[in-house]
Structure 1
Amino acid sequence: MKVSHYPSLYQINTRVRHRRFCLDRGGAAGIDDWPDSEWQGIAEQGFDWLWLLGVWQTGQAGAQVSRSHEPWQQGFQASLADLSEDDICGSCFAVTSYRTAEYLGGDKALAGVRKKLNEQGLKLMLDFVPNHTALDHPWVREHPEFYIQGSNEDLERELQNYIELESKQGKQVFAYGRDPYFDGWPDTLQLDYSNPKVQESMIAELLAVAERCDGVRCDMAMLILPEVFDRTWGKSIEPFWPKAIAAVRERFPDFVLLAEVYWDLEWTLQQQGFDFTYDKRLYDRLRDRVARPVREHLVAGLDFQSKLARFLENHDEPRAAHTFPPEVHEAAAIVTFLSPGLRFFHDGQLTGNSVHIPIHLCRGPEETADQRLSEFYSGLLQTLQRPVFRSGEWALADCRPAEDGNESWRNFIGYRWRSVDETVWVAVNYAAQPGQCRLEGAQIPKNENNTQVLLSSQPQKPGVEMNEEGIRFDFPAWGYRVFTLPD
């Protein structure tokens, strides 16, 4: 198994990919029937992890809500112009059971996939949804006390946040799962973490998931932090994550946990035991296309940054090719994926897909690969396989004015990566206009032939001058260069 201090993860929407595979095959199959070349190709691109999104069993109640909830329909139509009811299979986060869905081949097929992945040097990541369950989860009938309850008055006043369902105690009002800032998700029910039995049961569920994979991505992990839960529901709860993660580590010492987290709570969850946490802050600042906030974000200590999951898109965000024009996309990717942390890529990103596929759908549109972005990502992934980027030492570079009165240096972001074998420098002009800066701290080689350009936005026009004062960059808008220098 490959070991990397800064690993790379590839996310696949399992239901969408499996639908396409079955159509090509001309019949039903399990995910273990996918061709071995599928896994081989991911391993050869240098990935350490494969995240199979949405393998768990969901129910008819969730599918029905997805097909009838009017606010979601416009997004579905935007993704699939020829949308049909069969394409709407319900949210993969409205889980009825942590068993592999039968139409994917069940747990036996999943075990077969994991074995194939491990043989290729890949680890398997799956989902864990701690905050809520599906409307038709067995606990609704058997253990209604596991959920946040409401009154008939709540139901009349906030129909968007409550629903009446049948349990073994008769009809009861349940709260939809939600976060404190938005209306509830009407295909889910909120678990009540003030009930110790809920925490015990969810730890048991997490352990059951951990038996089937090498790591989990925990959906909206911050929602069950005590301070967030109290703000949302007005209930005090005991901390869940420290004891849940400790229980997992006791049985599976090498298990990896990735937290989806927002609201500047990344450090909090890292301190509670998560190996990696989403870095939405870097994504947002790159999307705003202003260099200074990006650079300020990268000043944080490596004890924090090394545990951040860096991304430009995922199943929740718009496609990067839709959000960023091509030249901005490349510059943003250089900043993102050559930073320390977990490098997190999404299926379709590498070929420049531009249509976002909602998690309620099990079919996506056919898109033609963008040749420019495909070639760019191929070069980036090849570069990321160099040991210096996987386990080397990273430092934010010291950029200075190229000459007095030239303020364009403020738009530059630079890094240095160093290992026993090589030193690599990264420079990006993250701005919509040309810029110049001087890089300090680099030892200038006597012979420029000792340098090697790994990635560049302008291979024919280097825009780099080296002398005894350092390195001077003269880059166009969104220009970048990744190159080696001898120590």
Structure 2
Amino acid sequence: MQICITKESIKKFQIDAALLTANGFLPINDFQTARIIAAKVNEYNNRDHKHADQLKGYQVRALGQLVLIYRSVLSNCLAQYPNLQTEWIDWLYSQFSKQEVNQWFSEYKRNFLCLKTASKQDVLKEIFLMWIILQNPALSFTSVFFKTKLLSDNPTNTKIFSCVFKFLKQSAPSFDNSYDFIDWILQPIKRFPESLADQLVFIRNNWWNYLDNSKKEINPTLKFIHEEILEDEKRAHAPERVLTFKGRRLKAKYSHEKSWMRDLVMIAKNTYVWLNQLSKTYNKPIRYLDHIPDEELEALHESGITGLWLIGIWERSKASKRIKELYGNKDAIASAYSIYEYKITENLGGEKAYQNLKDRAKTYGIRLGSDMVPNHTGIDSPWVIEHPEWFISLDTNPKKEFSFNSPELSPSTNVSIKLEEHYYSQTGAAEVFQHIDLKNNHTRYIYHGNDGTSMSWNDTAQLNYLKPEVRDIVKRTILNVAKNFSIIRFDAAMTLAKRHHQRLWFPLPGTPDCVITRERHTMSQQEFDKHMPQEFWREVVDCIAEEAPDTLLLAEAFWLMEGYFVRELGMHRVYNSAFMNLLRDEENAKYRQLLKNTLDYDPRILGRFVNFMNNPDERTAVDQFGKGNKYFGICTMMATMPGLPLIGHGQIEGFTERYGMDFKKAKWDEDIDQELVQRHKKEIFPLLRKRVDFAGTDHFTLYDFEKEDGGVDENVFAYSNQNDGRVYLVIFNNSYQTTRGSIKRAVECAGNNSRIQDKSIMNILGGLSLSINNKNLFILSDLRTGKNLEYKIDKIKDNGLFFKLEPYEVNVFLVKTSV
């Protein structure tokens, strides 16, 4: 399963020589290679700011499969008519001059490494295969691999191709009397131009007898396509996904939260990078946590921030750093999520330095947060050394292609730990690593951590939550973390929900979407429930509620499980990535629908969201939203909607670099955008300091913005909230178009004490707690400009509040009554 690609694409996408065959073809013999190639293309596009769709591993695999099939069909054709290629070439020379034909062949040989020493017959065969692929709309991305000036619309090339296909139409034997050879071979594309899976199914059902060994790979490829598409659909950062609650009738089991939890505003800091930046700001070495100046804590306090998420403060895996060094990345440190032990690293000053920071932060009203990574540990952690049975593993190598002749990564003389060797050449991405207990010569193949959406995290080891001792030790570890941190963020929390831990690692018979190589390790539902009788996260929540009730638990959870994590499992907070994705892409109707769905089902869920414009796994806020009115409009929403506002590292300063989890310092020398900082101080910080007024859901009301033609403008977000007698109205036009309309009615909302009953639809006066009888006038006082807008209550009752909104205009009003 190999394809012929241009020299230019090999260079452009940095495809290593180790990935190529000896004669220059690019083999796509396994799913991991397909993912690697896709990642290289995407990396190039991202690096060069090309706004191309993200290439998927399954598309690359399908490309390899179709090339293999067409090569097989062509070989079958040539076997029936051995002289076809010779006659084909002779035909070209009879129609064009010898110089034209020779130059044509020479140019292909010059542009394609795999054709450099090929015969004219083989060159012609590969050209024909490229042409077929380029006719396929579902493989439009392949032009980056094949396109040269020769395959563009240059006259000579067009004439020669026309001549070639005229010959094939007339002379090549067809496998179906209803079509000539060219029309026959294009049938899958013509019937299913947009679907690779349907093309492969058509070929499997209709061409089976004309294929050689290539047909054996069709079903595995279809399975891979199905798995990848299904996972893409489940990922919450897919902007087309909207949270719904259809069929949900489970009893609400919210965790009790203290007032500080409800009002929390948190900022994320990549700790090593932050300390290095502070060193430059204060012009002195700031290496340890206790070196962080009080001025910095005071600045956070003044901005309205009450929570500080310190990323990467635990002792990290030495093997993780070693792996990166062997990759050639000498500047990287270990990944923040390949954890050796849950101890504050001495590289940041250890426990003593942390306690100093914690005590000083407390005087500024700031609570500290950290990550807890329950899904996996570092590949060389003490648990891996001392308790390999706690991890998901096999006693036999799951794939014969996996080889472990690679450098030793173990810190212990009693244990050998080796990564699959093709990781180092970046020509493979095995799901397991080799663990040998040298005392008893017991070999295990332990799985890397994996969420099923991409390649395994190769510096980690996947824990087995079917084992009660694993669940117990992780709970005890979480309790120990809670002794030091008021806020715990659980990384990839959704992977430990029962249905996803089962799906990924212990799939039901016949289910396709497990981690690759786990399909042979199925388990019945009854057996799985026996080993994991209840949700692990519910156990954690109940344990923390009893033993560390002053701890906020925050789940990074996607796959449309947000409501389940907070309402039924009891997490205090859960990621709401739709806030970032949908508002960024101005899919405003979808985000308003998400809000309406949530209000209709249970408004309390809104207060448990974590809303963000970027996080450490995403592009920076300035990259996604810019620095203008659109950014500040959405940032205003983040500050005034129920749910925890999470501010990204460098967001306020306008930094554009995205910091990797293995960065020790920023790679770019960026200056703070002082103008951007000042605008935050003027427009955003005052709202964050009033967080107590915006955080609740009891009085949160969402309105339709009715246009003059009677329709609803879905681009406008209008909502009100109130606390302790203070009532606010927020209105934002997330669009580049000016709009006019009125706020008259609120959307339907369920009562906070009921899922279905006690629903109500209020008019604008009810939403703003105004009565037609109590006052004659009311005033909307703009918090930013101080401008007052005066309205007569009786007119508003009938006509609503009228606004003309410029592109990305946002207003935050305090509602005042006046006689």
Question: What TM-score do the two structures reach when normalised by structure 2?
Answer: 0.54
For 2:504, the equivalent position in structure 1 comes to 232
For 1:419, the equivalent position in structure 2 comes to 723
For 2:360, the equivalent position in structure 1 comes to 116
For 1:383, the equivalent position in structure 2 comes to 687
Given candidates 249, 254, 259, the residue that maps to 2:555 is 259
Mind listing any 5+ residue stretches in structure 2 that lack a counterpart? 1-257, 403-428, 507-522, 745-763
Deviations 1:4-57 (A, max 9, x none): 633211111111122344676665742112111121211221122111111000
Instruction: Name the CA shift for 1:55/1:428 in 2 (closer, same or farther; >3 Å).
Output: same
Q: Which has the larger displacement, 390-399 or 361-370?
A: 390-399
For 1:278, the equivalent position in structure 2 comes to 575
For 1:13, the equivalent position in structure 2 comes to 270
For 2:410, the equivalent position in structure 1 comes to none
Does the CA-based 8 Å contact 1:178-1:184 persist in structure 2? yes
Given candidates 59, 62, 65, the residue that maps to 2:323 is 65
Instruction: Name the CA shift for 1:211/1:257 in 2 (closer, same or farther; >3 Å).
Output: same
Q: Which has the larger displacement, 116-125 or 256-265?
A: 116-125
Given candidates 144, 149, 154, the residue that maps to 2:398 is 154
Does the CA-based 8 Å contact 2:777-2:790 persist in structure 1? no
SS of the equivalent of 1:262 reads coil
**1:415, 1:16 → 2: CA distance?**
38
Given candidates 292, 297, 304, the residue that maps to 1:34 is 292
Does the CA-based 8 Å contact 1:43-1:120 persist in structure 2? yes
**2:780, 2:656 → 1: CA distance?**
36
Larger relative contact order (Cα-Cα within 8 Å, sequence gap ≥ 6): 1
SS of the equivalent of 1:409 reads coil
% same residue: 24
**1:313, 1:446 → 2: CA distance?**
44
Given candidates 289, 296, 313, the residue that maps to 2:614 is 313
Does the CA-based 8 Å contact 1:13-1:347 persist in structure 2? yes
**1:58, 1:164 → 2: CA distance?**
20
Instruction: Name the CA shift for 1:249/1:398 in 2 (closer, same or farther; >3 Å).
Output: closer
Alignment of structure 1 residues 345-364 onto 2, 5 Å: 345-364=647-666
**1:435, 1:118 → 2: CA distance?**
46
Alignment of structure 1 residues 75-154 onto 2, 5 Å: 85-86=330-331, 88-154=332-398
**2:340, 2:353 → 1: CA distance?**
19
Q: Look up the equivalent residue of 2:629 and give its one-letter code.
A: E
For 1:366, the equivalent position in structure 2 comes to 669
Q: Look up the equivalent residue of 1:122 and give its one-letter code.
A: I
Does the CA-based 8 Å contact 2:492-2:555 persist in structure 1? yes
- Report the alpha carbon displacement of residue 397 of structure 1 after superposing the two structures with TM: 3.3
SS of the equivalent of 2:729 reads strand
- Report the alpha carbon displacement of residue 210 of structure 1 after superposing the two structures with TM: 1.1
Deviations 1:105-152 (A, max 9, x none): 111211121111122211111110000000110111211101111354
**2:274, 2:735 → 1: CA distance?**
37
The reply to whether residue 177 of structure 1 matches residue 478 of structure 2 is no
SS of the equivalent of 2:679 reads helix
For 1:77, the equivalent position in structure 2 comes to none
**1:9, 1:126 → 2: CA distance?**
12
Q: How many residues align?
A: 467
SS of the equivalent of 1:376 reads helix
For 1:217, the equivalent position in structure 2 comes to 489
Does the CA-based 8 Å contact 1:179-1:223 persist in structure 2? yes
**1:422, 1:217 → 2: CA distance?**
32
Q: Look up the equivalent residue of 1:18 and give its one-letter code.
A: L
Q: Look up the equivalent residue of 1:437 and give its one-letter code.
A: G
SS of the equivalent of 1:366 reads coil
Mind listing any 5+ residue stretches in structure 1 that lack a counterpart? 71-83
Q: Look up the equivalent residue of 2:375 and give its one-letter code.
A: N
For 2:474, the equivalent position in structure 1 comes to 202
Q: Which has the larger radius of gyration?
A: 2
SS of the equivalent of 2:813 reads strand
**2:725, 2:556 → 1: CA distance?**
35
SS of the equivalent of 1:410 reads coil
For 2:28, the equivalent position in structure 1 comes to none
For 1:338, the equivalent position in structure 2 comes to 640
Instruction: Name the CA shift for 1:280/1:374 in 2 (closer, same or farther; >3 Å).
Output: same
Deviations 1:400-426 (A, max 9, x none): 434226x57332110101123321110
Given candidates 176, 189, 192, the residue that maps to 2:461 is 189
Deviations 1:252-289 (A, max 9, x none): 12211000000011122212121000001222211221
Does the CA-based 8 Å contact 2:269-2:311 persist in structure 1? yes
Does the CA-based 8 Å contact 2:640-2:687 persist in structure 1? no
- Report the alpha carbon displacement of residue 187 of structure 1 after superposing the two structures with TM: 0.9
Does the CA-based 8 Å contact 1:290-1:431 persist in structure 2? no
SS of the equivalent of 1:298 reads helix
Does the CA-based 8 Å contact 1:466-1:472 persist in structure 2? no
Deviations 1:290-332 (A, max 9, x none): 2211111112132211111111111111111101132321222
Given candidates 243, 250, 256, the residue that maps to 2:539 is 243
Question: What TM-score do the two structures reach when normalised by structure 1?
Answer: 0.89
SS of the equivalent of 1:211 reads helix
Q: Look up the equivalent residue of 2:572 and give its one-letter code.
A: D
Q: Which has the larger displacement, 154-163 or 337-346?
A: 154-163
For 1:73, the equivalent position in structure 2 comes to none
The reply to whether residue 474 of structure 1 matches residue 804 of structure 2 is yes
